[in-house]
Every structure is written in C-alpha cells, then in structure tokens.
Amino acid sequence: MHGHGYAPQQPPPPSGGTHVTLRVLFVVLAVVTCGLAAWGPMLRLAIVTRKSYDWVLFGIVAALDVTAVVLIGVDPGADEFQGPGNAGMVVLLSTLVAAVAYYLFADIRHFSPFRRPQFTGYVPQQPQPTYGYPQQQGPAPVHLQSTQPHPPPAQQTPPPPTRPAPARIHQVQAELDELSDYLRKQEGGS
C-alpha cells in the first residue's frame, strides 16, 4: 500500500560564477608566473575530479616545471640565454600552454550541466497493482508459420512516460475499494 515515494531532491549545483572565477584565477596565476606555477591549475583539477589520470598529469607538469627551472639555472649566458636556457624556456612555455588548455577543457567539462549524470543508486518505483481488481493482460501474440516473406514490423512509438501517482492517491483508492466491498456485502445481506 505504501511505496518508496519520490526520489530525494538533489541540491542545485553552486552558481557558475564561482567556477568561472576560480578558472580565471588559476589561469592568471599560471600565465603571470610565465609557467612556473602551471602545476597549480593541474593540482586543483586533480583534487576536484579525483581521477588518477589528472594526478599523473599534475606530476608530469610539476616535473617539467622543475626541469625547466634547472635548465634555466645551469645556463652559462650572462646577458642572453644560450642552449640550456633556451631549452628551459621552451619547456616552460610549452608546459604553460598545454596545462592551461587541458585545465580549461577538463574543468569546463567536469562542471558542465549537460554531461551525463552519474548513477545515484535510486531505482524508480514500479507500478503497483490496483487493489481488489486483477490487472488486465493483453492478448498473447499469435505466431503463424508462413512461407511468404514478412514485411518488417511497423515502428511502434513507446507510450509516453507516466508520472507515479502520489502515495495518498493509492491510500484513498484502497479505502474506496474496501468501502465498495463493504457496501456490496451489506446489500447482499439485507
């Protein structure tokens, strides 16, 4: 008589302004430091998404930043960079561009309202039989053996989804069925 009821309402996601502000903040941090802090956006992404892939990318970006700083530090040029310094700057700027591009792509995709929802564990309630009356079943399909070719079956449109009735309606329906049975007994006994 009593079902599970409706699924609990999910709280609305935080406003998009917060996400946009954080995206801008982390991208500006990476760009202003010329890529030295390119690991920052990747760290935030790894913490937010909790994917091992993002943690690996964070480690790679951090290692590339350290490698670039070491190459720049060992450069013997006094006024201009020479071989190792140039290589360090190329690594630093390439890491900056790749890290910012991937960060923006993955962060926007992660917080997108159009992505497929994750399974929450809620199983919709199945329709319950009406009380006191048997469910009507459609006629069983008849299969005929024929030697003629069969045309392809017509495309059937599925019935529109029905919204489950509130539990109160089921309760009232059950009480009316009980009252109807009681009145039938009274009419037959009088």
* % of the chain residues with pLDDT over 90: 29
Instruction: Write down the pLDDT at residue 97.
Output: 94
Residue 152 lies in a domain: no
Q: Is the pLDDT of residue 182 over 80?
A: yes
- Phi and psi at 33, nearest 5°, equal -90, 10
| Overall average pLDDT of the 133-162 stretch | 62
Domain residues for the domain of 43 are 16-110
Hey, what amino acid is at 19?
H
Q: Tell me: the pLDDT tens digits for 148-161?
A: 666 666 677 776 66
Mean pLDDT of the chain: 78
- Residue 13 class from Cβ within 10 Å (0-12 exposed, 13-18 middle, 19+ buried)? exposed
Cα end-to-end span (Å), the chain: 31
Residue 28's pLDDT band (cuts 50, 70, 90): very high
Q: From the CB of residue 36, how many other CB atoms can be counted at a distance below 10 Å? A: 18
Which token pair is 115? 């992505």
Tokens 């005929």 appear where?
A: 144
Q: Is the pLDDT of residue 45 over 80?
A: yes
Tokens 């059937």 appear where?
A: 156
Please tell me the total count of domains within the chain: 1
Residue 36 lies in a domain: yes
Q: Is the pLDDT of residue 111 over 60?
A: yes
Residue 39 lies in a domain: yes
Q: Are 164 and 123 in contact (CB under 8 A)?
A: no
Q: Is the pLDDT of residue 12 over 70?
A: no
Residue 117 lies in a domain: no
Instruction: Write down the pLDDT at residue 172.
Output: 85
Residue 49 lies in a domain: yes
Q: Tell me: the pLDDT tens digits for 64-102?
A: 999 999 998 888 877 777 888 889 899 999 999 999 999
Contacts of 95 (CB under 8 A, 6+ apart): 35, 38, 61, 64, 65, 68
CA–CA distance, 74 with 90 (Å, rounded to integer): 15
Q: Which of 16, 42, 19 is nearest to 29 (CA)?
A: 42
Q: Is the pLDDT of residue 135 over 60?
A: no
pTM of the full structure: 0.52
Residue 170 lies in a domain: no
Q: Which of residues 59 and 117 earns the better pLDDT score? A: 59
Instruction: Write down the pLDDT at residue 139.
Output: 60
Q: Which of residues 76 and 166 earns the better pLDDT score? A: 76
